Structure formats: structure tokens, C-alpha cells
Amino acid sequence: MFHQNFIILAIPMFGLWYEVIIGKLITMAFQMEFLTPKFNKFYELWTINPDEMLKIESSNGLELLIFAGFIEWHYLFSVIFGAIAHCIERTIASVLIE
């Protein structure tokens, strides 16, 4: 039981790699202009230079980029809170092992 709980928590973490790879491929397609939006050129996802910021009047045509950003952030938070869940589970399992 000590190792079974750990395996149950660890298995979804391997599936998350596919999620972030798909999100990053979509983002890279916009950056390399394979997918072109109907507005100004796409430069950076994060910048403090106003000239490089994405200027949009409407979210039409941005659905795919928004989805890619969502799954990238979902991966990030899943890894962070998954690691915290592993630590909590290991602590409880270590205390209760007899």
C-alpha cells in the first residue's frame, strides 16, 4: 500500500508531458508564422516593450492561442501542486507505516 498510493499519484504526471508539448507546438506555430492571426505580427508571449506586445481588437482567431496558453499554465500548476501532493502523501504514509 505504501508504494501503490505513490504510483497512483505519479501516473497522471507522465500524461502531462503530452499536454505541454501540444500547447508549446501551437504557440511555436504562431511564433514561426505557420498559423497567422488576422492582426499585427505575433512577437512574444511575455515582453515589457509596448512595440512587441500583441495588439488585438477582438479575440476572433485567437481561440487556439488562448487554448495553448491555458494548457501550458495547466501543466505548470499541475506539476507544482502535484509535487506538493506527493510530499504530503509521502509524509502521511511515512507517519502511518507500521
Q: What are the pLDDT digits (tens) for 22-68?
A: 999 988 888 777 877 665 555 556 777 777 676 677 777 788 888 99
- Beta-carbon contacts of residue 42 (< 8 Å; ≥ 6 apart): 30, 31, 33, 36, 54
Cβ proximity of 27 and 68 under 8 Å: yes
Q: What is the pLDDT of residue 51?
A: 73
Percent of the chain at pLDDT above 70? 82
Q: What is the pTM of this model?
A: 0.66
Residue 71 has pLDDT above 90, yes or no: yes
